[in-house]
Structure 1
Amino acid sequence: MTFKLSWSWLVLSLGMLVGCFPRGDPSKPIPTEFIAAPQKARRLVVVLPGRADDVAVLRRSGITQAVQQAWPDADVVLAGLALGYYMEGQAERRLHAEVIEPARKRGYAQVWLVGASLGGMGALMYDRAHPDQVDGLVLLAPYLGEKQLLQEIAAAGGVARWQPPPPPRVIDEDNFQQELWRHLQTWSRAPGARRNVWVAYGDKDYLRGALPLIAPLLPPQHVLQPRGGHDWETWSPITRDILSRVDAR
């Protein structure tokens, strides 16, 4: 089942001015840029952009250098999975068919997804639609829904106690956020599913209100709150830190 989202809903939810953000062209393949590992590659890290990012922004963000400083054996793919692909309702299917599945066929020992903001949401959408296809998720200030839903989950005593309505036949703008949290709820019942999931929000990030809800689902050491805001100046260094911790663990 795919997420069928209306353009206006997601634009309003993320507080966007449509003309100011890359939309991509869903009639074309997802733009990508491949950066080879400094050493013999064993792993692949696919980076999904935030709402204001395209491949050029990702190239300047320092995320490739951060990944390869921690994992010199990792190839990196910067994937321009912009808003238009989400609005098409095919983001997770396109990501699988055009990026992840071909990578798996190249024989990497591990494939990880790093997603920031909108890309963090996209990484979770992918994990929901294609379980066990990536070996780990690094979620950088992922967008997890509007304040009203977050308050509802908090009032229920957290996502493990939250009682969502019955699953819908079609996922649309009216139920998309609850279905994202229904997927997160499965982590409370399956510890193995969260073993390689890490999340980080800057202490001044405007989306940090979701952190107290997602944090209890993860091992405490997998939840980080560095100093910083909603930007790559915060996300790139903390990604390097997270990947270093993965190997140290």
Structure 2
Amino acid sequence: MASVPSLFSNSSRYRIGDSTLLRRNRKGICICRNELVLCSRKSETEQKSSLRLHGQGTKRRQALLQIIFGAFSFPSIAVANASADTDLQEDFRIYSDDTNKFKISIPQDWQVGAGKADGIRSVTAFYPGEASSSNVSVLITGLGADFTRLESFGKVDAFAENLVSGLDRSWQRPPGLAAKLIDSKTTNGLYYIEYSLQNPGESCRHIISVIGMASNGWYNRLYTVTGQYVEEESEKYRSKIEKSVLSFRFI
């Protein structure tokens, strides 16, 4: 049994809490008041419909954040026997998961760990053999019946903004975790998101994620590929992590 401490260290600092909703309420209090004034002129049916849609949107945002956070908080990782081809490049190899139907290129000398599946989610992690805060993980999470496609979470820009704003605690006093969106785009049916996380007094952590959805024949599953490295390891690991994350494909 081997562990990936860099993947899950300080996970409590990235935990989603009620403060996210509190922050949104504080920021949007004027807007909420205006909406109440406007709603008073609507019919009771229209008001109920508006509240129902708002509730659905909130649930989807909460589900999104909980799923993405799984990449930082999955409990245990054990070294796995990787199924890998070495015909990619001399310094990279292709890791294929025939059960979960995906493949990804990883550095030749990186180790592979597999999390214990709980029936709802599973994770595979890739990380250097030496002590490091850099790694790549593939988290697979089962979805409810109402999530029929990736756009169920919203378009990529809204998806990315909701994710990063939900992580950000820089508005607190004293300031907490600062999250900044760097880029977001969609290609080949996948969402690509890049952002940074930094606790006060700590190194900046860069995150590169690819999000996709596929069915296992019974229900849809969300695939969250997360590559992360700290600022001081950028020169050593950035290009490797970018190449690995961006190579993710369904098979």
TM-score, length-scaled by structure 1 = 0.26
Higher strand residue share: 2
**Bigger radius of gyration among the two:** 2
Larger relative contact order, structure 1 or 2 (CA cutoff 8 Å, min sep 6):
1
Higher helix residue share: 1
